[in-house]
């Protein structure tokens, strides 16, 4: 199975429970429409410095967050910028 990435806004943080609630954009890799739900995190340390209202990029493994980082505008769900993408990914006739 390929890696599953998502982008969303943190709604709540439960450090003792090791969970973060995220209002996420559609996640195409698993056919999830946009929604809001609490996710378990692989390590509670990932929640340090995360605040409600923050836009984040996350990676899921077995419906658990394995990686959680601040979202940077201009990135896709995988965290790539257009300049990071291989030329073929830009498609024919597109500027590189």
For the 4-89 domain, the top CATH level (class) is: mainly beta
**Res 81 pLDDT > 60:** no
Domain borders along the chain are 4-89
Can you tell me the mean pLDDT for 82-92? 48
Q: Regarding predicted confidence, which is higher, 56 or 74? A: 56
pTM for the model stands at: 0.76
Instruction: Give pLDDT, residue 83.
Output: 53
3-state secondary structure the chain: CCCEEEEEEEEEEECCCCEEEEEECCEHHHCECCEEEEEEECCHHHHCCCCCCCEEEEEEECCEEEEEEECCCCCCCCCCCHHHCCHHHHCCCCCC
Q: Regarding predicted confidence, which is higher, 84 or 29? A: 29
């Amino acid at each position: 199975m390929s890696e599953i990435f998502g982008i969303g806004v943190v709604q709540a943080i439960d450090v003792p429970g090791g969970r973060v609630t995220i209002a996420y954009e559609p996640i195409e890799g698993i056919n999830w429409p946009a929604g809001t739900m609490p996710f378990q995190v692989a390590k509670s340390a990932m929640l340090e410095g995360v605040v409600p209202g923050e836009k984040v990029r996350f990676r899921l493994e077995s419906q658990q967050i394995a990686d959680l980082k601040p979202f940077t505008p201009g990135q896709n769900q995988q965290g790539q910028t257009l300049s990071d993408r291989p030329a073929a990914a830009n498609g024919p006739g597109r500027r590189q």
